[in-house]
A and B are shown apart, each in its own frame.
Chain A
């Protein structure tokens, strides 16, 4: 046991250098993508907007119906072969970190957009009507009345997505990112203690995710102040 714990600093180093930054950055970008996607998909505008909506629907469909690992492979190993004359004649080559962030952001964005869209749709019609009768525009109603309420119901499922994302970053090992899981694999290969090494790394993920559930609890509390009668 003693000799496994000596690797802890090395593992945590990888976690703080890659695992956590990839998860946090991807989640922040993913939420922005999700919000934009959700708002476009609930839009009731016609004309060009119908084409835009179709594009975003396609985006959500493709990321929800294909494995994350395959998505990572396409972005990192596949895109270098996508040669676009004038824009990327030599293919799109991304460093592993960027490829990881891009894929995780888009993947999380697709899932979270459905969460946010569902939360918006679930707000009673009467809230829209009350905002309308005050003379608010659709945008004002969304910003002031609908989204603040939708946000509250979104917190638990969004926290779920974040927790999944933290664990999914272990897949980044497959595109040569030296993150937490990759480091544990390297150590296990050298010290022949796979059971202890992988158990230790599992424990580290569990600790991180547990901290996140506490943050979720706090967020739920502050966003639902108004329901405490």
Chain B
């Protein structure tokens, strides 16, 4: 369980996260929704210290870190080993083949032997529908394929939590769908996923829980049924702005 208590993060004058209190459950898929610039990516990135909040408490599976003080490197490395981020722009390593992109973390960080890691990488590539692409370089892949490799790369670390930051925002609808299908399959395995997305249909399908963020505050935290049938005017406005209901 990841639990944030009274988290604050500022970028200069901009108060990106305001006293955030939220819990992310294990074996559940949490979707973070909100308009651009609302702080949802910052919230997600704070979970594995790509952003470091200035204040608050971070409870990571019972290890409580006080963010008012500098966090020890060993705590950050431990958390990063158990949380993997999938980025909007994939951020694959362009100089490594697909299979090496996937084995790099397990071999260098987890100290797995190369043969084991490679075997696992082949399995994961098959799982995301990319068997046979092992020796290609990232530049030879489509965006949808690249993002599926990035997902395989994160799974290879066998993390407790997978964090996905707008994983399909850079893709056209057809490529988006191939990535979303993979994510729906992973969600069925009851892994712990936290996803920032703008795709409402996908959120509705995959979410166990929805968090709605606006102006650095959490306006909603609850089940998707409640969210999509909310009587809150702001939430309804957001949902209708994001879907075709008014057209």
Contacts and interface: CB of A to CB of B under 8 A. Distances in A.
Contacts of B139: 226-229
B87 interface: yes
B91 A135 contact: no
A128 to B, nearest CB: 9
Given A135-B80, A135-B81, A140-B108, A226 B89 contact: no
Contacts of A229: 137, 139-140
Given A134-B80, A226-B137, A129 B87 contact: yes
Contacts of A127: 91, 93
Given A134-B80, A134-B157, A144 B104 contact: yes
Nearest to A223: B95
A124 B109 CA distance: 22
B92 A140 contact: no
B77 to A, nearest CB: 5
Given A226-B137, A227-B139, A229-B139, A133 B94 contact: no
Nearest to B106: A134
B50 A133 contact: yes
Contacts of B129: none
A86 interface: no
A135 B93 contact: no
Interface in A132-189: 132-137, 140, 144-145, 148-149, 152
Interface in A92-142: 124, 126-127, 129-130, 132-137, 140
Given A134-B105, A134-B153, A226-B95, 12 more contacts: A126-B89, A129-B85, A130-B85, A130-B93, A133-B154, A134-B109, A135-B110, A136-B105, A136-B109, A144-B104, A145-B104, A229-B140
